[in-house]
Amino acid sequence: MPAGPRQLTEQELAVDPLVAARLLLGCVLRSTTPEGVVAVRVVEVEAYRGGDDPASHCYRGRTPRNDVMFGPAGRLYVYFVYGMHFCANVVSLTDGVPGAVLLRAGEVVEGVDLARRRRPAARNDAELAKGPARLTGVLGLDRAHNGVDLTDPDSPVKLLAGEPVTDVRTGPRVGVAVAVDVPWRFWVDSPAVSTYRRGTRRTRVVVPPER
């Protein structure tokens, strides 16, 4: 019987997020829940790094939320945004140096039926995991999965090696208004790649006095 796809190791993910980002393109994230199995081929990612990266959740130091980003590589960092969505990252680097790669989009390669049930709003299969919250939703991930070890053979969520990718494209991160000059975003050609949106730097709303 043939050996399954190789699982990525903590060691190979313990690198700079900009390196890990390229490494993750083409890999398959496979989640098993009571509902069933869904797997996604990663086609779009973004790197985030503590310290010098003002867009990172770790820019201002260690907090309860970003704690797993400071831990060993190969763990899942899941966070809650905009009051309704979860986004998933693969932790890179280690030894108290925070870094992670946001999984922005993927192609569903296993469990399409379950994926469709989880994302009824998708108008076609390419949209199922087109966007970080959609990708996370399709895999059934939420805050309970924060810190899960993707390199553990017994883990419910695994990161598997895929076909090597060619022709990697780069550009500014989506929805981020700072550090736009550094190409932190990486993707390969796919209909599932999300559409670019400039970060919204909100202008302060001044409420005029009632008169």
Partner DNA sequence: ATCTAGATCGGCT
Partner DNA sequence: GCCGATCTAGATT
> Which residues of this protein are in contact with DNA, per CB under 7 A?
46, 48, 55-58, 60-61, 63-66, 69, 77, 79-85, 87, 89, 100, 102, 119, 121-122, 127, 130-135, 173-177, 194, 197, 199-202, 204
CA distance 207 to 125: 44
CB of 81 vs DNA, minimal distance in Å: 5
Query: Minimum CB separation from DNA for residue 183, in Å?
Result: 15
Q: What is the nearest approach in angstroms of DNA to the Cβ of residue 153? A: 26
* φ/ψ of residue 137, rounded to 5: -65, -40
CB 97, min distance to DNA, A: 14
State which residue, 55 or 165, has the beta carbon closest to DNA.
Answer: 55
Question: Could you tell me the smallest distance in angstroms from the CB atom of residue 105 to DNA?
Answer: 8
Q: Are 53 and 101 in contact (CB under 8 A)?
A: no
Query: Is the Cβ of residue 1 or residue 121 nearer to DNA in the bound state?
Result: 121
Cβ nearer to DNA, comparing 6 with 143: 143
Smaller CB distance to DNA: residue 5 or 126? 126
Nearer to DNA, 3 or 140 (CB): 140
